[in-house]
Amino acid sequence: MILEIVQYGNPVLRERCKRVEQVDESIRILAADMLETMYDANGVGLAAPQVGVAIRLAVVDVAHDPECISFLKVNGEDAPLASIMPLTFINPELEFTGPKERDTEGCLSIHDVRAEVSRPSSLKATLPQLDGSVLVIETDGLLARAIQHETDHLNGVLFTDRVSPATKISLRRKLRRLVEEG
């Protein structure tokens, strides 16, 4: 089922989400609906607060661009990108391993706003799965960026919080308009 994507200004986007302590059928259904919603909106990631649910659950799929990463290790072994896509995870833990890189980001919850964001270029992510297993992913590129972006959502942080001060000033009017249009 396609869910409504919460838009900028909604307080749920600023909440630090609760840990998922137990995966039940409602969590599995929510995750499947989030994937369907993300695909329908042509996104590469979606976090539960973006559909109004303040829990630490997110989905990512960058399989449309297998060249978007230069390496991928899953649980210490080299792996093809397709082997983990789409990626659904709860309660992520991130360790940043690369120098910061700037790239353009957007967000399904902030329509028509894109900006340069500086983030670590690579990471090691411990990503518990819905089936109780845990993936430890080491990667870079768009996958690393998407995991960071979605994890930020779980902490109540938006990509617009991570832009340069000059960019924040230039975005202020657009963001104010989005809140007013609500």
Residue 15 annotated as catalytic: no
CA atoms of 54 and 18, how far apart (whole Å): 6
Asked whether the beta carbons of 100 and 38 are under 8 A apart, the reply is no
Amino acid at 83: S
- Residue ranges for the known binding site are 107, 149, 153
CA atoms of 179 and 9, how far apart (whole Å): 5
- Which runs of E-coded beta strand occur in the chain? 45-47, 57-60, 72-74, 77-78, 87-90, 93-96, 100-107, 110-120, 122-128, 134-140
Instruction: Name the H helices within 77-164.
Output: 141-154
Enumerate residues 6+ apart whose C-beta is below 8 A from 139.
69, 71, 72, 73, 122, 123, 125, 147
Of the residues 101, 150, 180, 181, only one is catalytic, namely: 150
| Residue 154, number of CB atoms within 10 A of its CB | 24
Amino acid at 16: R
Amino acid at 106: G
- Residue ranges for the known binding site for Fe cation are 107, 149, 153
Residues with a catalytic annotation lie at 150
